[in-house]
Amino acid sequence: MQPVSTSTQALPTYPPEVHVALLTYLVQLADTSLVLGHRLSEWCGHGPVLEQDLALANIALDLLGETRSLYQYAAELEGQGRTEDDLAFLRPATEYRNPLLVEQPNGDFAHTIVRQFLFDNFHYHLLQQLQHKPDERLAAIAEKSVKEAAYHLKWSSEWMIRLGDGTEESRQRLEKALRTLWRYADELTTPTPAEQTLQTAGLLPDYASLLPAMQAHTARVFADATLPLPEGVVMQQGGKLGRHSEHLGYLLAELQYMQRAYPGMTW
Amino acid sequence: MHKPIAETQKLIANSQQLIANNIWQLLEEVSDPEVPVLSILDLGIVRGVAVEGDQVSITITPTYSGCPAMNTIATDIRLRLLAEGYSNVTIRTQLRPAWTTDWMSAAGRQKLEEYGIAPPVDGTATGHLLNLFGADTAVRCPLCKSDNTHLVSQFGSTACKALYQCDDCREPFDYFKCHA
């Protein structure tokens, strides 16, 4: 897709290490919303009921919109002539920087809800702070996206409660999903070297400052869902540094197929 | 010697203002592809028009990040202006301040309701995380005008709409979400 317009905004100037860290981080954020948006789009036509099928597609679309703004910014900041499409379609899995959580398969509806809840709780609270940080363009993207992320968090939180405090079947499925997915939660708030550089430079909130609000919301949702908080789970990470599970390769094979098979094609 | 230059500058400024006014009128004729009764001015997405020489620059702001109508709207603006001879048109997107339904015109709200879409109810931006299972926004049915309606889903046929149903006439209808 062509961007609506090429921005003519002046690009910020940072010291080299901050510039590189910002570029890495923009790609990480964009990869994250692209991969999760793609996963959600896999539900299209398969949702449990029409209204929830629409909800999943709507959330996927919001995430894709955020992705495009971030890749466009990254492409301009990089200044190597790459476009948003090049970044999405022409990088191998090892160059993708999304956390492991978002590439996990949809599984059943409970899996999709747990994955979404863990992500939304982080995403919403991150964007809330990011919109007040000094990088003007990133803050503007956050200000735009945080309104949408609030709807997402409300939706996934309410489904956590419905499924947890629902039928025996829904609760068992939710518990199973938690056993599978909780291990990917901590990676979201564990900073990479690039994120640490940006935190030191004041461009990114310190993740410790997000935790109280995130944990309070989790505690409230789990209490309403009558679920105990998982304890003693060994955490997995690596996606933000390019070490992915096998699932990402299959996802990208489908996402990137057209541009790989017919380079430069348009419609 | 200075006076003629000042006069000329004034004339140029006046003519640029006339061109800008003309362009605002043309933009009134560009409609939202998803909600064709609304012009893009009704929707409140045009943030500015600037004219310099033959160069026209229009700033628009997206409603929702992923709204697929934005590309169509940009193309429609170009085509409408091209038809009037404006070929040097730049369309910029501006994310900040983020679009809000407060920018939707009163005429736009009325047209929406007549079209069968309930207009946004101001001051009811929901989606706040503390409002889990909170009371639905009271929305009047655009068809039978009953206030006896309920929310079916926050996510409707497009990113900007929620799905409601009327408990009197039983018709489902779209509600243009308050977004602030």
Chain B nearest-CA residue for A153: B129
Q: Please report the domains of chain A, with CATH numbers, ordered by start residue.
A: 16-229+237-261 (1.20.1260.10)
Residue A237, CA distances (Å) to A34, A39, A95, A172, B37 in order: 19, 19, 15, 26, 50
Q: Do A62 and B66 touch (CB under 8 A)?
A: yes
B126 and B60 part of one domain = no
Q: Which domain holds residue B111?
A: 102-176
B contacts of A148 (beta carbons < 8 Å): 64-65, 159
Q: Are residues B91 and B152 in the same domain?
A: no
3-state secondary structure (DSSP) of residue B106: helix
Could you tell me the CATH number of the domain that includes residue B40? 3.30.300.130
Q: Residue ranges of chain A with pLDDT lower than 70?
A: 1-9
Picking from B99, B115, B131, the residue at the C-terminal end of a domain is B99
Name residue A6's beta-bridge partners: none
pLDDT at B159: 86
* Best mutation target, A1, A61, A69, A165, to test chain B (most B CBs within 10 A): A61
Residue A153 with chain B: CB contacts under 8 Å: 129
Query: Do B41 and B65 share a domain, yes or no?
Result: yes
Considering the domain architecture, whether residues B162 and B114 belong to the same structural domain is answered as yes
Q: Do A140 and B132 touch (CB under 8 A)?
A: no
For residues A99 and A48, is the Cβ–Cβ distance under 8 A? no
CB-based contact A144:B62 (threshold 8 Å): yes
Q: Among residues B49, B66, B99, which one ends one of the domains?
A: B99
pLDDT at B31: 94
Residues B121 and B93 in one domain: no
Closest chain B residue by Cα to residue A55: B155
Residue among A204, A29, A22, A55 at smallest CA distance from A123: A29
Domain count, chain B: 2
pLDDT in tens, chain B (180 residues): 566 788 888 888 888 889 999 999 999 999 999 889 999 999 999 999 999 988 999 999 988 888 888 889 999 999 999 999 999 999 998 988 989 999 999 999 999 999 999 999 877 665 555 678 877 788 999 999 999 999 999 898 888 899 999 999 999 999 998 887
pLDDT at B130: 67
From B75, B99, B123, the end of a domain falls on B99
B58 and B85 inside one domain: yes
The pTM (predicted TM-score) of the whole model is 0.92
Q: Distance between CA B178 and CA B174 in Å, rounded?
A: 12
**Minimal C-alpha gap between B95 and chain A (Å):** 6
Looking at the structure, do residues B90 and B114 belong to the same domain, yes or no? no
What's the complex ipTM?
Answer: 0.86
Helix then strand then coil, in percent of chain B rounded to 5, is 35, 20, 45
Question: Is the CB of B66 less than 8 angstroms away from the CB of A157?
Answer: no
